[in-house]
Amino acid sequence: MDLSATVASLIETAHRVGADRRLVLHGGGNISAKTTELDHLGHTRPVLVIKASGADMRTIDAAGFSRLYLDDLLTLRPRSRMTDEDMTSFFMRSLVEPGSGRPSIETLLHAFRPSTFVYHVHADAICALTNTTDGAARVSDVLGADVPVVPYIRPGFDLAKQVSELKGDAAVLSHHGLVTWSDDARACMERTLELTHRAETFLRERKAERAVRGPAVPPLDRDHAERLLLTLRGRLSRNGYRILALEPHGRAISDRPDVERVARAGPATADHLLRTRPWTAVIRSADDVGGVIDGLEREYSDFVSRHSDRMPPGARPREAAPAVVLVPGLGLIAAAPEARLAWSTAEVAMHTHGVAADVLDAFGDIAPLTEREIFDIEYWPLELAKLKPVSATDLAGRVVIVTGAASGIGRDTAMALARLGAHLAMCDRDAVGLDEATEQIREAGHDPIAVTGDITDPDVVDRLVRETILTFGGVDGLVSNAGVAVAGRLVDLAIEDWERSLAVNATSHFLLVRRLLPVLERQRLGGSLVFVASKNAFSPGEGFGAYSVAKAAEVQLARMVAIEAGRTGVRANVVSPDAIFEGSKLWDEGLRRERAKAHGVAVEELERFYADRSLLGRAVRTSDVADAIVFCLSERSSRMTGCVITVDAGVAAAFPR
Ligand code: ZN
């Protein structure tokens, strides 16, 4: 096959393998093929095309593969040993395209096997067979004596040499995975699937006979689940904000009578350790969170000091807190600095613990990696290099609720917050607008949640806060922005209109505060609440009483929050805009006509009228207001509470006092 056909075949195989989560997860496994290319001198040379380190099979494209001169790589074969550092710098010099992606540490394993195609997966069922005492004998029983088993060693030169000397067309790597090879791509893939299938069938049948069973665990009640998540997030965020991913399917693991044993079983394949970390916590109650996490942190520090002589030069101890928690009656929880990482950690943990559960069900015992092997993977520079740097934006790892998020100030603020790394829960009555707004944020690469409903309804407020906690593990900020314009002179106002204005512009903010303050207190991470008020709170306009009175109440509410919640580190500030027309639902045709009449100008002159009456003579944009809100939510305003920021281009009559 020529180069382009080879790459096309590898991409197709990678997508097929990557889509099967029982075979590989998130950057795991590797596939390669051998072909030829003309080098820069015009000579035809053999080339190895192999998935680059960390590339994900499910989504890989041509750029995700490295190409190396195979004749270069084969000169290494006679050597008896080679360090990881020498090997990787050699790879960089053998790249067909200098400076392209970092080749996998498993490159030589693929290069040294003469077959055209070499496929390597971390199949759950294969790992389950090896992760028990007599693992090698189990593999032979189930897969046949013609499939050799290589005892666990960390990938590198030695493993490549060992695999190159094996007979047959497949090998099992203990605590690691499966390798198959063939000159025919289809045969290579079929062998992978056939061996994996055989292992799965064996486990299923054997489990049916022996599986561990215990009494059913009742689900954790909603309030307890919420308390537990908040306490856990607060505790795990001590060294940086964490997002929690709750996987309810994890109850298949967390509700087992032997959950402690499963949690202690270590990774199914060494590759999972990067995300799952050495120990998983088991927490049964919100009251146990501190004790369990403290204990595991101490254990981790002891583990690091016991092996400090093996710590690579320059390496620093990693975060001691666990990344995965099993909660009987609730499920599996993974923690990471951002939601997507938390979800990939949860997925890896589901597989790693699922394999441990299968091993215990099928064989009754489990043979994990030794502590020393765990340490060597945990601090392997080549594995750590796969961890992408975590974004250090202003609001990274924060969770913010935005009300009135479907349009205008709310929508623009949500977008600005997402850009700074905040995780968003967006609420609005307008389902269509909310869909558009969330879609816009999704396109920018974030995953907000959306709750449709009227924020004056306590049940909607409760649902909004609860869903936010269940999705992200907690809350750090609020943009209390939903509002409604109610115009009319006092003598003409219907009581329904008056009450509607108070409900939306004042009471809804109170409902959010009342629901959120206990949440923030339990989390112990402080918090920032931002109330979007109006120039009318300070300088009411004639014929705008219902609105102005309610907005003044909102400002006073914010000050009450500052007074009552300051001791818990919770801040409350007001952003007070004026005359924002851009994208606003507040300024509908009726209101425009009404205010134009009140000010004695033509409707089309209204925006200019408001701009001209300001000290700066400029129109105020939604993005100006969003900037002020973002500032109030960020650490840059950490010493501000009970404060009003006007964003009105200067209206002297509305200077706060
Ligand atoms: Zn591997």
Q: In a 3-state reduction of DSSP, which class is residue 403?
A: strand
Confidence class for position 579, pLDDT limits 50, 70, 90: confident
Q: Where are the alpha helices (DSSP H) in 183-288?
A: 185-210, 222-236, 251-254, 259-263, 273-276
Q: Say if residue 389's pLDDT is above 80.
A: no
Q: 441 CA to middle of ligand 1, Å?
A: 35
Which pLDDT score is estimated for 134?
87
pLDDT greater than 90 at residue 472: yes
Tell me: pLDDT of 584 over 80: no
The residue with tokens 């829960």 is 425
Q: Is residue 162 predicted with pLDDT exceeding 70?
A: yes
Give distance in angstroms: CA of 154 to centre of ligand 1: 9
Q: Tell me whether strands 331-336 and 399-403 are parallel, antiparallel or unpaired.
A: unpaired
* Tens digit of each residue's pLDDT (9 = 90 or more) over 302-320: 999 999 998 988 888 899 9
Backbone angles phi, psi at 467, to 5 degrees: -65, -35
- The Cα-based distances of 639 to 44, 216, 325, 559, 635 in angstroms read 67, 50, 34, 15, 9
Section 588-596 average pLDDT: 81
Where does the pLDDT of residue 136 fall: very low under 50, low under 70, confident under 90, or very high at 90 and above?
Answer: confident
Neighbours of 460 (CB within 10 A): 19
* Distance (Å) from CA 28 to ligand 1 centroid: 6
609, pLDDT greater than 80: yes
Q: Count of H helices and E strands in the chain?
A: 25, 18
Mean pLDDT, to the nearest integer, of 589-615? 84
Distance 624 CA to ligand 1 centre (A): 50
SS3 content of the chain, % helix, strand, coil (to 5): 50, 15, 35
Cα separation, 21 vs 124, in Å, equals: 9
- Torsion angle of the four alpha carbons 517, 519, 523, 529, in this order, in degrees rounded to the nearest 10: -40
Q: Are 386 and 270 in contact (CB under 8 A)?
A: no
Q: What is the pTM of this model?
A: 0.92
Residue 586 above 70 pLDDT? no
Cα distance between residue 509 and residue 575, in whole Å = 14
Is residue 342 helix, strand or coil? helix
pLDDT at 48 over 90: yes
- Which element (helix H / strand E) includes 532? strand 527-532
Question: What's the 383 CA to ligand 1 centre distance in angstroms?
Answer: 11
Ligand 1 centre and the CA of 177: distance in Å? 6
Extract long-range pairs of 458-467: CB within 8 Å, 24+ residues apart.
Answer: 458/511, 458/515, 460/427, 461/508, 461/511, 461/512, 461/515, 462/515, 464/401, 464/403, 464/425, 464/427, 465/401, 465/512, 465/515, 465/516, 465/519, 466/222, 466/226, 467/425
Q: What does the pLDDT average to over 22-29?
A: 82
Task: Assign 3-class secondary structure to 417-430.
Answer: HHHCCCEEEEEECC
- Smallest CA-to-CA distance from 377 within 155, 68, 80, 145 is with 155
Nearest residue to 651 via CA among 582, 588, 580: 580
CA distance 554 to 504: 10
What's the confidence (pLDDT) of residue 224? 96
Ranges 34-38, 54-58, 489-493, 615-619: which has the least confidence: 54-58
SS3 (DSSP) at 47: strand
Contact 603, 367 (CB under 8 A): no
pLDDT band at 212 (very low <50, low <70, confident <90, very high): low
What pLDDT is attached to residue 442? 94
Mean pLDDT to the nearest integer, 312-341: 93
Distance 183 CA to ligand 1 centre (A): 21
> From ligand 1's centre to the CA of 73, what distance in Å?
19
Phi-psi region of 597 (alpha: psi -120 to 50; beta: other; left: phi over 0): alpha
Q: End-to-end distance of the chain based on CA atoms, in angstroms? A: 78
Cα(35) to centroid(ligand 1), Å: 22
* CA distance linking residue 455 with residue 481, whole number of Å: 10
Residue bearing the bigger pLDDT, 57 or 234: 234
210 band by pLDDT with thresholds 50, 70 and 90: confident
Looking up tokens 């099993």, which residue turns up? 326
Tell me the C-alpha distance between 164 and 170, whole Å. Answer: 11
Q: Is 472 helix (H, G, I), strand (E, B) or coil?
A: helix
Tokens describing residue 154: 């960390």
Contact at 8 Å (CB) between 407 and 583?
A: yes
Neighbours of 617 (CB within 10 A): 11
> What is the CA(31)–ligand 1 centre distance, in A?
10
Which whole number is the average pLDDT over 468-484? 97
Q: Largest alpha-carbon pair distance within the chain?
A: 98
Q: Is the pLDDT of residue 476 over 90?
A: yes
The residue-averaged pLDDT of 161-178 equals 92
Q: CA distances (Å), 297 to each of 234, 275, 376, 610, 632, in order?
A: 15, 16, 19, 59, 34
pLDDT, residue 47, reads 93
The predicted pLDDT at position 656 comes to 86
Query: Cα(584)–Cα(623) distance, rounded to whole angstroms?
Result: 12
Residues 188 and 194: their CA atoms lie apart, in Å, by 10
Count other Cβ atoms within 10 Å, centred on residue 63: 10
Helical ranges in 280-338 per DSSP H: 289-306
CA of 389 to the centre of ligand 1 (A): 22
Helices 185-210 + 339-363 axis angle, to 10: 60
Distance 352 CA to ligand 1 centre (A): 14
Tokens 């944020």, located at residue: 441
Ligand 1 centroid – CA 333 distance (Å)? 25
pLDDT tens digit sequence for 254-282: 999 999 999 999 888 888 888 899 999 99
Both tokens assigned to 86: 């020498």
In whole angstroms, what is the distance from residue 131 CA to residue 125 CA? 10
- DSSP helix/strand/coil, 584: coil
Using only the alpha carbons of the chain, give its radius of gyration: 30
119 flagged as catalytic = no
Tell me how far CA of residue 322 lies from CA of 275, 315, 488, 571, in angstroms. 10, 19, 58, 30
- The pLDDT of residue 177 is 92
Enumerate the H helices of 211-288 as residue ranges: 222-236, 251-254, 259-263, 273-276
Q: What are φ and ψ of residue 64, in 5° steps? A: -85, 0
Whether the predicted pLDDT of 385 surpasses 80: no
Q: According to the model, what pLDDT value does residue 287 have?
A: 97
- The first and second tokens of residue 506, run together, are 């004042």
Can you give the pLDDT at residue 491? 96
Task: Check pLDDT > 80 for residue 616.
Answer: yes
Choose the catalytic residue: 152, 241, 379, 547: 547
